């Protein structure tokens, strides 16, 4: 599966470099959804909610009404997850709140995840295990834990249907990714995996699909490095 990514900030479709610097703005949500119409599912991240400075609920609702949308951004309470489910999103992505960063080095927030899975259903949940310098990062990728993604995915399996794995070191930089890291993750869990971060070429995409890993694509699409026509052909062929 290939997931085009739509990141939202200040009512606009944007792309950031490593979650910080805005690199570009896309078209309107209507235009972007039309552009991605050949793809059965998309991924939407509300950056304003994630950063605690507002929301783009109307755009999320629009996306959920048009296609199967996996949505994340600031899912730190059960109530927020239920709000997204109420908007009709296909799956809810949870990141920071899945980890207890109050512990020394960080740990898994089992209490929250148990409540979340009970309220929403584990089949509707995707846990983000984003990594920089080999360690899971949280709070907008600004805080590191002592956890390695490949060491904890098995422990997280009871709470979700899959994982979103972002290689933050190369996110938005169009410099390629670390396929070996994704290969280790694939060996660590039988659940669905979606790769993001630095995916730049069709070779990157094909290598991931060959491993049985989905690809979430952002900057490389918006910057014209990955042709939508060729990606759509992979989807038609069963990617």
What is the per-residue pLDDT for 19? 65
What is the per-residue pLDDT for 103? 60
- Tell me the pLDDT band of 128, cut-offs 50, 70 and 90: very high
Indicate if the pLDDT at residue 127 is higher than 90. yes
What element of type H or E holds 228? helix 228-236
Residue 5 to residues 12, 148, 164, Cα–Cα distance (Å): 13, 25, 12
What is the per-residue pLDDT for 100? 86
Q: Which of 100-104, 155-159, 196-200, 207-211 has the lowest mean pLDDT?
A: 100-104
Indicate if the pLDDT at residue 104 is higher than 70. no
Structural contact between residues 228 and 235, judged by C-beta atoms closer than 8 angstroms = no
Look over the chain and give the mean of its residue pLDDT values, rounded to a whole number: 92
Residue 125 to residues 32, 75, 159, 214, Cα–Cα distance (Å): 24, 11, 7, 16
Q: What is the pLDDT of residues 8-61, one digit of tens each?
A: 999 999 988 766 667 788 889 999 999 999 999 999 999 999 888 899 999 999
Give residue for tokens 């690809």. Answer: 215
Would you call 130 a catalytic residue per the annotation? Answer: yes
CA distance 78 to 122: 13
Structural contact between residues 185 and 150, judged by C-beta atoms closer than 8 angstroms = yes
What is the per-residue pLDDT for 105? 63
Chain centre distance of CA 157: 17
- Show the domains of the chain with their CATH numbers: 2-236 (3.20.20.70)
pTM of the model: 0.93
Q: What is the pLDDT of residues 182-223, one digit of tens each?
A: 999 999 999 999 999 989 999 999 999 999 999 999 999 998
Catalytic residue selected from 7, 46, 48, 204? 7
Structural contact between residues 69 and 60, judged by C-beta atoms closer than 8 angstroms = yes
Q: What percent of the chain has pLDDT over 90?
A: 76
Catalytic residue selected from 46, 48, 130, 204? 130
| Residue closest to 213 by CA, chosen among 198, 199, 226, 195 | 195
- What value does the mean pLDDT take over residues 149-163? 96
Would you call 48 a catalytic residue per the annotation? Answer: no
- What value does the mean pLDDT take over residues 217-234? 93
Structural contact between residues 141 and 18, judged by C-beta atoms closer than 8 angstroms = yes
What is the per-residue pLDDT for 171? 76
Say whether 124 sits in a helix, a strand or coil.
Answer: helix
**How many other β-carbons are positioned within 10 Å of the β-carbon of residue 61?**
16
Indicate if the pLDDT at residue 99 is higher than 70. yes
């Amino acid at each position: 599966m290939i997931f085009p990514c739509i990141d939202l900030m200040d009512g606009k479709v944007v792309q950031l470099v490593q979650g910080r610097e805005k690199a570009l703005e896309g078209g309107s949500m209507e235009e972007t959804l039309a552009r991605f119409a050949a793809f059965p599912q998309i991924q939407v991240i509300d950056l304003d909610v994630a950063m605690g400075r507002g929301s783009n609920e109307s755009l999320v609702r629009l996306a959920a009404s048009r296609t199967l949308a996996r949505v994340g951004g600031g899912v730190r309470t059960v109530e927020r997850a239920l709000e997204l489910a109420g908007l009709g999103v296909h799956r809810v992505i949870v990141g920071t709140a899945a980890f207890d960063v109050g512990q020394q080095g960080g740990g898994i927030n089992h209490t929250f995840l148990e409540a979340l899975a009970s309220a929403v259903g584990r089949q509707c949940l995707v846990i983000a295990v984003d990594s920089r310098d080999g360690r899971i990062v949280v709070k907008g990728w600004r805080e590191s834990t002592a956890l390695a993604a490949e060491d904890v995915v098995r422990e997280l399996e009871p709470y979700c249907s899959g994982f979103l794995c972002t290689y933050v070191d190369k996110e938005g930089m169009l410099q390629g990714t670390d396929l070996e890291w994704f290969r280790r993750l694939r060996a660590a869990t039988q659940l669905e995996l979606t790769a993001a971060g630095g995916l730049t070429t069709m070779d990157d995409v094909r290598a991931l699909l060959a491993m049985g890993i989905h690809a979430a694509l952002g900057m490389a699409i918006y910057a014209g490095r990955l042709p939508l026509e060729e990606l759509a052909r992979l989807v038609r062929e069963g990617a």
